[in-house]
Structures are given as structure tokens and as C-alpha cells.
């Protein structure tokens, strides 16, 4: 989070960071899966099969990132298992014995994958760090995690703030309250959004992460995931975010509301329409009066600030926390 990704050199790449192939519980074979994302306009695909490294070479357009979905033992009982999951990027192997409680390991014969665990998230992150890999905690809301299950651990750079298939299946895809709680505790936690694709017709492309990469390489994508040179979306485009003493200026695709989130009740928003609120100033609109440029009020010195853009269909895009980007 050292530079503003909207002002960084490089280009925006559309990234699928949580997706499953027939190597675990997905329905498309790995190469076909990458080709399908390419047809859908993606630039980056990290296949994250359960406890399996599924390697597909980069194509002419799509950069593949070596990832997986791994797990850890929770310190407190949880239903239906005693474990939770994390996404890891930039690995070169899967550990044979990650050291967790074997009572939590299982094989899913029907979908032919197996699940093992690290003894806690910190241990999983330490293993990932030993291979220079980047860790994001998967779907906290869907897993029923307590904030402290994450806050008590170290070594991850962020959480999966939005998981589209969890949202569509169970209404538990939006983990932004966990994000705010972690940020409120003073942790510089980043976010990703994903489709967690298993069934392409239902899910593929329902949410994604935009990655500001210095070049079209796996290493540059990993750098962006490590430093937060990203934003999250299920539709809207964020063109620019600029923080000044006057406020936060956001340039975006047509939106009915733009929000500034910060701790507790101090957030602000500007919206159009019947229930419009104006904690700031609309600077530009499109032909139908939707917001395309706005200056949001800031509420003094806050621990963090992040932006959400909401389009006319209710689809959102999320920035990472702007600090210490702000005024920097």
C-alpha cells in the first residue's frame, strides 16, 4: 500500500483469483478453464484447486498464477468442520504434511479431492512465506469465522472481501464487515473479490479483482497482490481515486452511489435519486444523471478510508484502504 495504484505505472489486468478445475471440485479441465476466462475477457487466472497445484502455461493473453486453496485448524469448534480456508498465490508445491490435526483432514471421493490443514493460519502463512507466496483468507462470512479467528493470526496480506458464488448460493458472499473490523483493529488488511467458480455457467466472471501490474508477468501480478495495487469489482470500473485535504475524488463508471467507509459511524456517501445523500459534491454525471466524478467529504483523521462504488443495478466495486496512500 505504498503507492496509489490508480497513479502507478503499468496497466490494469482483470484477474480471476479463486477458481476450481476438474483437478478438484470444478467442472472444466484446467486448460479449458483458462481458455474460457480468456474468452470472457480476463488477463490473469489463478486456479486454486483444493490442496493441489494445477499448473497451466500462460496463453497469448492470459497470465496464469500458481495458486491453491489450503486450510487451517480453527482454535474453537466450528460447524461443519473444525477448519477454515485460505488462498495462496505464487507457490511451487503443496506440502505433503502441513502439520495440522488429522481429524480435520478428509477426502471427497465424489469430487476427488482431499483436504488437509495447517495447525493454524499463522503456520500456513509461514509456509507460504518460505516459498515467497501471498496469502488471502477465503470467504470469512461463508465459513462463519469470527473476526478473532483471523485477527489472532499473522502473515496474511488480506481477505476475500467478496465471493460471488457464496453470495449466489447462500447470501454469505460479502465479508466487508470482517474487513472493517480488521482495519479498525489497526491491521493493514487488503481485499480481493472472486467468483469462486466451480460451475462456469452459474459463476464464471461474476466478480473479479483488477490488478495494476507493472508488466504482464506472474511476478508483477504477485507484487500487486502483495502491495494492494488492486481494486475489487462485480461490475463498476474505478478510473481514479485521489485523496486530498478537501476530500476523496473518485472517477468511475456511472454510479448511483459512491461511499467512503471508515471506522464506526464516520463514513460518508454521495448518491443520486430519491434517497440521495450528499456528504460531498457530484462533479460530473453521465447523460442519465448517474455519478461519474465525485468529491466525498472526509471525517478528519481516521484509521483508514476505503471507497465503494455502487452502480444502478446494485453491483459494487471496492478500493483497498487508501492509507497510507492518502496525502502521500
Applying CB under 5 A, which residues contact Zn ion? 69, 196
d(CA 62, CA 32): 12
- Nearer residue to Zn ion within complex by CB, 86 or 304: 86
Q: How far is the CB of 198 from Zn ion (least distance, A)?
A: 7
Closest distance to Zn ion from the beta carbon of 298 (Å): 37
Q: Partners of 89 in the beta sheet?
A: 67, 134
Minimum distance, C-beta of residue 299 to Zn ion, in the bound complex (Å): 37
Pairing of strands 134-137, 158-163: parallel
State how far the Cα of 149 lies from the Cα of 215, in Å rounded to an integer.
36
Between 46 and 243, name the residue whose CB sits nearer to Zn ion. 46
Closer Cβ to Zn ion, 12 or 156, answer by number: 156
Helices (H), the chain: 30-39, 121-130, 140-143, 147-151, 164-170, 176-184, 200-203, 218-227
CB of 25: closest distance to Zn ion in angstroms? 8
Which C-beta is closer to Zn ion: that of 111 or that of 297?
A: 111
User: Pairing relation of β-strands 238-244 and 230-233?
Assistant: unpaired
When the beta carbons of 83 and 319 are compared against Zn ion, the nearer one is 83
Tell me how many degrees the CA angle 206-91-139 measures, rounded to the nearest 5: 35
Minimum distance from CB of 193 to Zn ion (Å)?
Answer: 14
Amino acid at each position: 500500500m505504498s503507492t496509489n495504484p490508480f497513479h502507478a505505472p503499468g496497466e490494469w489486468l482483470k484477474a480471476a483469483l479463486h477458481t476450481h478445475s476438474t483437478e478438484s471440485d470444478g467442472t472444466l479441465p484446467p486448460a479449458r478453464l483458462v481458455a474460457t476466462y480468456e474468452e470472457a475477457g480476463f488477463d490473469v487466472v489463478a486456479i486454486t484447486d483444493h490442496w493441489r497445484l494445477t499448473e497451466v502455461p500462460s496463453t497469448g493473453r492470459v497470465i496464469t498464477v500458481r495458486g491453491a486453496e489450503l486450510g487451517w485448524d480453527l482454535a474453537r469448534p466450528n460447524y461443519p468442520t473444525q477448519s477454515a480456508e485460505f488462498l495462496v498465490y505464487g507457490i511451487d508445491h503443496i506440502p505433503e504434511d502441513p502439520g495440522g490435526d488429522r481429524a480435520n483432514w478428509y477426502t471427497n471421493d465424489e469430487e476427488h479431492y482431499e483436504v488437509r490443514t495447517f495447525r493454524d493460519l499463522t503456520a500456513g502463512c509461514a509456509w507460504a512465506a518460505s516459498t515467497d507466496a501471498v496469502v488471502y483468507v477465503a470467504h470469512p462470512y461463508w465459513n462463519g469465522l469470527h473476526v478473532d479467528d483471523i485477527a489472532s493470526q499473522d502473515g496474511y496480506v488480506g481477505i476475500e472481501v467478496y465471493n460471488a458464488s457464496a453470495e449466489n448460493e447462500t447470501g454469505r458472499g460479502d465479508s466487508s464487515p470482517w474487513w472493517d473490523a480488521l482495519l479498525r483493529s489497526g491491521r493493514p488488511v487488503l481485499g480481493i473479490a472472486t467468483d469462486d467458480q466451480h460451475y462456469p455457467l452459474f459463476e464464471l466472471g461474476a466478480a473479479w479483482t483488477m490488478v495494476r501490474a507493472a508488466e504482464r508477468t506472474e511476478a508483477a501480478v504477485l507484487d500487486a497482490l502483495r502491495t494492494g495495487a488492486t481494486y475489487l469489482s462485480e461490475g463498476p470500473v474505478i478510473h481514479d481515486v485521489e485523496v486530498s485535504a478537501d476530500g476523496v475524488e473518485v472517477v468511475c463508471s456511472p454510479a448511483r452511489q459512491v461511499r467512503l467507509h471508515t471506522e464506526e459511524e464516520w463514513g460518508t456517501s454521495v448518491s443520486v435519486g430519491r434517497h440521495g445523500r450528499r456528504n460531498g459534491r457530484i462533479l460530473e454525471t453521465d447523460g442519465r444523471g448517474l455519478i461519474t466524478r465525485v468529491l466525498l467529504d472526509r471525517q478528519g483523521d481516521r484509521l483508514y478510508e476505503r471507497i465503494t462504488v455502487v452502480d444502478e443495478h446494485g453491483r459494487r466495486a471496492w478500493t483497498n484502504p487508501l492509507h497510507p496512500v492518502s496525502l502521500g
